[in-house]
Structure 1
Amino acid sequence: MTEIAARAVGVDIGGTGIKAGVVDVTTGTLISTRAKVATPEGAKPRDVLAAVEQVLDLLDVAEDKIPLGVAFPAIIKSGRTMSAANVSDEWIGFEAEKFFEDGLGRDIHFANDADVAGIAEVRFGAAKDQAGLTILTTLGTGIGSAMIYNGVLVPNSELGHVQRAKHGKDAEAYAANSVMERLGLSWAQWAKRLQWYYSHLEFLFSPDLFVVGGGVSKSSDKFLPLLDLKTPIVPAVHRNNAGIIGAAALAAD
């Protein structure tokens, strides 16, 4: 078995901000300050690369060859970004992993942002030691998802796009946190939408645990108790640091 590094750098690229930190991957804790810069307007590849270089400089790890993982809001297949959420369409079909490796002069591990959040929770958070199927969802501007079976990630699940035929919308257009904010829904009104969503996932996949992430998870006591499910559903532990921790953990493997 390959020895796992004790520390690694995680970078979490989002539509509005790029965050990074050094992680102790034996405990899943940050061992540095968290560096953050704004995502460049338009979020084109070269501009995002320059911003990643900036956060690595802020952490003083630009020349450090410890493992580096990058989380990105897209479907990732063989190092290519196959979609683009809140970033430039230039990323669609783009050989992103090689682009970053060439630009940074080091090996990296490139993965979907919701997937790495799932890894953070299953290794160090709410789903640690959970057998069977865990489904993590991140409720934010959209709905991201990660499916993990007995600790093994099934990548690029994109469960925010399951369809709600009654209204002709996908799940995130009906039940994301941004929808609640835009429509001014109460917690109870939003919970009715979440009830449909999680009941549908429950029917499709028969999971053993739901983990709910995203910034709104800090208010989970206002909406999770309103849901009636057969499957246990719990808030995520790592919230805004999940992408950093999960990306670093995968890079260290």
Structure 2
Amino acid sequence: MPDSCVLGVDLGGTAIKLGLFSRDGELLADHQRPTPQPATPGSVCVEIVEAIGSLDPDGLASMVGIGLPGPMDADARVARVCINLPGWEEVPLAAWLEPRLKRRVTLANDGNCALVGEAWKGAAVGCSDVVLLTLGTGVGGGVMLGGKLFTGHNGAAAEPGLITLFPEGPDCNSGNRGSLEQYASITGLGRLSDAEPSSLAMAASRGDEQAKAQWERYGQLLGTGISSLVYMFTPQLVLLGGGLAGASEHFLPAVRREVNTRVQAVSREGLQIKPCALGNGAGRLGAARLAIDRLRSRPSLQAG
């Protein structure tokens, strides 16, 4: 029956991942399709409508949570900017989608969605102070303090991938230079190696010394950025998600060494740094949970 389920959508630079969930977070069905290229707001809107129609043709879910790579407005209705997607500035995506889907829609930063998913069903269960980084096309993330998402003034926080690592480094689409994203994203890894991430991981697993050294350097750079985040938030847990986290065995030791070297003991006391438990499913699960939390008290939209 309607309202028994909720839809979670995770919009990435290369794929749109959807899940139909029960109210207690059980995955009932899922669907994935490529993100249209170029990923303009109009083309993405059409793709989401079609994907949800394929996944939930009977309208079992009256609520939709959507994770996007950027900050939302305070009402979680407007995508303020998605720096790695063309044309995404002040896009009223919820208002566009609701009459087409006949369902309530709420928006959230994709890193925040991943963090909420991990706190609900994954590696952050029972933790109150967590920093999460998503390592993929860009570097997103989220911060939880005292058991609540830290979203800052007007809902634009947190963007941990946009902190400065090297002031004179490569230009970032955010307007910054030398941001952590420029060194810890797939593009950043590409500055260390011509190999695709999966090929580089396989080479390291075979014992290739050059590949191992490239992952080591990647871990050092990522660990340098994480060190600044640890000083700011002193979390219990730092989680690493996104596509590159699948190769964490090759760079996580270097990350931990860098943090231990750069961060004084009192600021990293009890700190754990580890991969997400839910993999690429965390974002859509967290988007669904945020929809439940935000929209369950509101009446459903009626089909026209």
The structural deviation recorded for 1:92 is: 0.3
SS of the residue 1:63 aligns to = coil
SS of the residue 2:43 aligns to = helix
What letter matches 2:181 in structure 1?
E
Q: Provide the residue aligned with 2:91 in structure 1.
A: 94
Q: Provide the residue aligned with 1:195 in structure 2.
A: 223
Contact kept, 8 Å, 1:12 with 1:18, in 2: the verdict is: yes
What letter matches 1:46 in structure 2?
G
Alpha carbon RMSD of aligned pairs, Å? 1.9
Asked if 1:119 is matched to 2:159, the reply is no
Contact kept, 8 Å, 1:175 with 1:190, in 2: the verdict is: yes
Contact kept, 8 Å, 1:121 with 1:128, in 2: the verdict is: yes
Normalising by the residue count of structure 1, what TM-score does the alignment of the two structures yield? 0.89
The structural deviation recorded for 1:62 is: 6.0
Distance in 2 of aligned mates of 1:187 and 1:41: 30
Distance in 2 of aligned mates of 1:68 and 1:60: 11
Structure exhibiting the larger radius of gyration computed from Cα positions: 2
Structure 1 residues 24 and 225: CA distance shift in structure 2, 3 A: farther
Q: Which of 39, 56, 62 is 1:60 aligned to?
A: 56
Question: Pairwise mapping of residues 92-171 of structure 1 onto structure 2 (< 5 A)?
Answer: 92-131=89-128, 133-155=129-151, 156-168=157-169, 169-171=178-180
Could you list the runs of 5+ residues in structure 1 that have no partner in the other structure?
A: none
Distance in 2 of aligned mates of 1:62 and 1:114: 30
The structural deviation recorded for 1:166 is: 4.9
Structure 1 residues 223 and 183: CA distance shift in structure 2, 3 A: closer
Q: Provide the residue aligned with 1:176 in structure 2.
A: 185
Q: Which of 266, 270, 282 is 1:242 aligned to?
A: 282
Q: Provide the residue aligned with 1:252 in structure 2.
A: 292
What letter matches 2:159 in structure 1?
E
The structural deviation recorded for 1:153 is: 1.0
State, as a whole percentage, how many aligned pairs show the same letter: 31
Asked if 1:76 is matched to 2:72, the reply is yes
Could you list the runs of 5+ residues in structure 2 that have no partner in the other structure?
A: 152-156, 170-177, 194-212, 260-267, 294-304
What letter matches 1:199 in structure 2?
S
What letter matches 2:187 in structure 1?
S
